[in-house]
Every structure is written in structure tokens, then in C-alpha cells.
Chain A
Amino acid sequence: MHQGRGRLRSILRAVSFAGVAIGAVWGASAQAGQPLLNVSYDPTRELYKQINPAFAASWKSKTGEAVEVQASHAGSGAQARAVIDGLGADVVTLALAADIDTIANKTGKIPADWQKRLPNNSSPYTSTIVFLVRKGNPKAIKDWDDLAKPGVAVITPNPKTSGGARWNFLGAWAFGLKKFGGDEGKTKEFVKAIYKNAPVLDTGARGSTITFAQRGLGDVLIAWENEAFLALKEFGADKFEIVAPKLSILAEPPVAIVDGNADAKGNRKLAEAYLNFLYTPEAQAIIAKNFYRPAHPEHAAKDDLKNLPKIEFVTVDKAFGGWSAAQKKFFADGGVFDDIQK
């Protein structure tokens, strides 16, 4: 009986403690300044951590108003789904135009011609796909061909779950097309050989970076260029080096205002200013510092630009007829990627 009462009391104590804890967390999230929510994808975490305070400072000096930019990061597709299901994003800065297109189609909160509203196809920065190899490049990996050779372990995320991985796949495909003079059958065999060399398919780009850099798996990581530089910075340039293929794909991660949400919250002006800020000299310099390719390289520090190797680019629009066509052909159920995995 005694014991029972003691237990009851400890349960009550636990419950009231939980109540206090939840209240504290709730209270902490309410901060000063008009909140603006930027829903982004995984590898931009470090970039927006620097952009957001810079924008808040610039907004304050211009208008005297405080703004608190909140950032949400996860896989690009998952983020798009969250916005479709009602996450109140004022702006989205995602990995693929297709993800923003889907938000536009499914919710009507973004106009269909959103990509024409800002310069450079609404991409204030671009990136590309490069290779990260172990120091000294023991397997002598120079270009996409080398990834298809037997005995080379390739680390890349799963194109079915990762927006970044779709760029990887298309990069390999574009190289194959060029190498085999446009022969799709041979290109398919080539890309299949690369994916046969993959011992792991992580669900996201960051997961693959960890598998390669921290778990020590694989000979080469196919990665976003900024992610590769970040890994170099994080894990040491004495362990890895970056190999730039001669030909790669130009990744254009786009940004857009979610008009429906921004208007509902009275945030339109703020949201517009935020996205326009990304094209300013100040933001462009931050972008280059974070290993993205700025839309206006003239504003970036010279040293940051020196890092970025010269690569011949193909674009999704030119090589694959846009994202929805590429998505359907390669990554949808029963598409090319499903086929080569059999």
C-alpha cells in the first residue's frame, strides 16, 4: 500500500515535471522579432546559418524592424511534402525545381510561373557534382569512367529518397551520353555498372558523406560540390581530396516565395526582401564562402572562387528536357533507376 502511494506520487511528480518542461520549450520558441520561415534542404544548413543573421541585420538597418529568420532543414522532397501538408513556409529554398513545382501544383500557394520571378531561373547560387576520394587518390579516379570499373566502391545516396542523389545520377548519365555518342543502351549499362559498385545507398546526401568520411566505406563519394568542400573542412584536407570530373551537371537549387503563406501572415514584403537579399553582394560573398557557386562571382572573395574548379556543365533543361521529364523517365516507379537495380 505504502509502495503504491509512493509510486503514485512519483508518477504525479513526473507528470507535472513533464508539463513544466513542455511549457518551457514552448515559451522559448516565442522570441522577439517578426518570424520568417525558410524551409530548405539538408546541405544548406551551414549556408543559411550565416545568411540569416546577415539579412536580419540588413533589414534592421533599413527598416528598424527586428526579424527572426527560422530555418527548417531536411530532405528536399520531405520538405516539399511538409509545405503541401500545411507547414507555414514563407519561402522555400529547395534542391530541385520539381519539388517547388509540386507545391505549386498541389496547393496553388505558388503561381505556376514562379521560376521566372527572380534572376537566373530563381537560383541565387548553383552547385555541381564532384568526387571526394581518399588522400593520394589510391584508385586513381579521374572521371566518371573510373567509377564504373570493377573493384571501385562508390558511395552515393539513393535517388529515390534524395534530391541530391538525382543530380548524381543525371551527371553520370550525361557523361555516358557524351562518351557513347548518345547511345542510350550503352549509357544505361554504364550507369548500371556504377550503381553495381555501390555497397550502400543512404537516404540522404549527408548520410552518404558520413558513410564515406566517418565510417571509412568506399573509394569515392559522389557529392554536391559544397558538401565535398565541407567534408574536407570538417574531416581534414589530409584525409581526402576533391576530384572534379571534366563534365558534370549544373545543379540549380531554386528559391521561391510561398505567396499563399506569406500573404496570410502579412510577410510578403519581408519574404521578397529575403530572397532579393540572396542576390546582393553581401549574400553572394557568403554563398561563395560556403562553397556554392554564386550567381554574381564578381562579389565573391577571390580566394573562395579559386576553390571552384572549371568544369564543362550540362543543364537538366538542355540535356533532359526539364525536371518533370527527367523525374518521370529515370526516377518514377518502373523508370530507368528501378530497371538498373534489378
Chain B
Amino acid sequence: MTSSTVAGRDARRFTAPSVIPGFGLTFGYTLFYLALVVLIPLATLIWRSSELGLSGLYQIAMEPRVAAALRTTFLISFGAAVVDLVFGLVVAWVLTRYDFFGRRLLDAFVDLPFALPTAVAGISLAALYAPNGWFGEALARYDIKIAYTRWGILVALIFIGLPFVVRTVQPIISELEVELEEASATLGAARLQTVVRVLLPPLVPALLTGFALAFARAIGEYGSVIFIAGNIAYVSEIAPLLIVVKLEQYDVAGATGIATIMLAFSFAALLAINLAQAWSRRRYGHV
């Protein structure tokens, strides 16, 4: 297939009449709305940091304290998204596949991290995991510290990311037919084989989407983390806190510099996940 035919097909798709009229209007509105709400603010961010130049951005990123904070933010966000991936799948599976007393209520609880102001989440988590909190006190007996360490950041990020995985995987699970599992079993597959070869493949794209959302959300998270992190430089300081620190010194260029670096990293990470998703769709087919 040559590139001109691809372009031709895409162009046709762009103008092909639909049953419902109003494509021009809605498309224009979509562009306008996205520009107003997303593109222009982000462009301003990049434009404001452009006075630093690439070398300035590099310098900021290489500052030991900023580098440490970026590492903390991205590594712990990744870890939290992995945890959410595994346990979000389990939660989604239980909520869609089994019927039990209070299922609807439990289902509603999943959305709470969406609705709660993140600072409230951070304060409650800090209260629970502080050395005199319910969990913190019990864990302290085994010499485990959660609040005011990196583990505290992980806990907060797991909390705020969970609904993303659950809510993206749930509809796919409810579409999976039980007959598939039964067929797999009658054909002699072991349980693990059924899970890995029959159930998981169609879930992979949705899981990756959920993972990407949870990861992206965690990177930008501020409110819930600063209350439980301890905020010690080089140890438990997250990159968004450094942005606030820079702003506190009226250093807008420096703050937007860190923000731009984070944006670039996140964009690269999301792009990679999207590519993996596209690959998995091709490999396993779209459900």
C-alpha cells in the first residue's frame, strides 16, 4: 500500500457523510474546546519556559536536587501504577464477575478517590500511617515506617490511581463471555493456561490504558503526597513540590522549566504505552 492511497482513504474518512449531520460544527467545536482548555495552557507553559532554552532546561534537570525529585516522582509513580494494574484488575474482576451482597455499594466506593480533594486523602492517609495512627502503630512494632518515607508516597499514589485501572478494565471484563472459559476448560486447558491465554489477551489494551492513566495521574499528584511524604530533600521530595518551591521564590521560569521537563517525560512515557497498546491490539485483536 502506497502512502498516497492511505492519505486518500483518510481524506475520504474525514469528509464521509454520516447518518447524523453536524460533523463540521462538532469538529470545529472539539478543536476550539480542546485548544481553549488543553492546548493553549500547555503552549503557554512551554512558551514561558522557552526563555530558558534547551540548555537551561538541561541545567535544571541536572541540578542534583531536581534530578533526585524527578527520579522519585517517576519511579514511585511507575511502581504505584504497577500495583494499581494488578490489584485494579482483581477488583474489577470481582466486581463484574461475582454477585454478592453490597456489590453496588463497593462498586461506588471505587470512585471515591476521584471525588475526594487529594489533600484530604493525604491527610487521612498520613493520620492512618503515622507512627501513632491505626496502621502506623501496628507496623511500628515490626519497625516498618510508612508515613514520612518514600513508602508513604507510594501509598498515596496507589490510592489516587486505583479507579483508573478498575474503570477502564471493567467494561471489557463484562463483555468477556464465560463460554470462552468453559470452552477452554473443555478443551483441556489448565486454569492458569485459561487465564494467561484466553482471558488476559483481550484485556491487555484496556489494562495498558488504565496503567497509563494511573501513571500520568500519579506524576502530577501534589496534594495527597506532600502530607505523607516528609518532603526531605534528595529523599522524599517530589518534583511538583519543587515547582511550588520555585514559585515561592517568584522564579516562574524555573518552575515552568521543571513542569516542561515533567511534561516531556510524561509525554514520552504515554507515547510508549500507546505504542505498546497499538501493538497489543494488532497482536491480540481488538475487543
Contacts and interface: CB of A to CB of B under 8 A. Distances in A.
Contact of A201 (B127, B230, B247, B250): B230
Contact of A214 (B127, B233, B245): B127
Nearest to B64: A342
Nearest to A162: B248
B88 interface: no
B130 A216 contact: yes
Contacts of A161: 241, 244-245, 248
B232 A215 contact: no
Interface string B210-243: 0000000000000000110011111000000100
Given A81-B250, A333-B251, A199 B230 contact: yes
B65 interface: yes
Interface in A47-87: 75, 77-78, 81
User: By CB atoms of chain B within 10 A, which of A102, A198, A201 has the most?
Assistant: A201
B159 interface: no
A216 B133 CA distance: 9
Contact of A341 (B227, B230, B234): B234
B151 to A, nearest CB: 14
Interface residues of A, number: 27
B30 interface: no
**Chain B interface category by residue count:** 20 to 34
B115 to A, nearest CB: 13
Nearest to A105: B250
B281 to A, nearest CB: 26
B227 A207 contact: yes
Contact of A215 (B133, B231, B254): B133
B147 A201 contact: no
B131 to A, nearest CB: 6
Nearest to B247: A81
B132 A215 contact: yes
Contacts of A342: 64, 234
Contacts, number: 65
Given A78-B248, A161-B248, A215 B233 contact: no
B251 A201 contact: no
B248 A160 contact: yes
Contacts of B227: 202, 207
A183 interface: no
Contacts of A198: 232
A308 interface: no
Contacts of A75: 248
Contact of B148 (A78, A158, A200, A333): A200
A161 B246 CA distance: 9
Interface string A250-288: 000000000000000000000000000000000000000
A81 B243 CA distance: 14
Contacts of B226: 202-203
A160 B245 contact: yes
A118 to B, nearest CB: 25
A298 interface: no
Nearest to B63: A333
B4 interface: no
Contacts of A158: 231, 245
B18 interface: no
B26 interface: no
Contacts of B57: none
Contacts of A160: 245, 248-249
B126 interface: yes
A217 interface: yes
A332 B250 CA distance: 10
A318 B250 CA distance: 25
A323 interface: no
A199 B147 CA distance: 11
A338 interface: yes
A320 interface: no
A215 B126 contact: yes
A192 to B, nearest CB: 12
Interface in A209-238: 210, 214-217
A331 interface: yes
Given A161-B241, A215-B127, 8 more contacts: A202-B226, A207-B227, A210-B123, A214-B127, A215-B126, A215-B130, A215-B132, A216-B130
Interface of A: 75, 77-78, 81, 102, 106, 158, 160-161, 198-203, 207, 210, 214-217, 331-333, 338, 341-342
18 contacts: A75-B248, A77-B247, A81-B250, A106-B250, A160-B248, A161-B241, A161-B245, A199-B230, A199-B232, A200-B230, A200-B231, A201-B231, A201-B232, A216-B131, A332-B249, A333-B246, A333-B254, A341-B233
5 A-B pairs with the lowest CB-CB distances in the bound complex, closest first: A216-B132, A215-B130, A77-B248, A341-B233, A160-B245
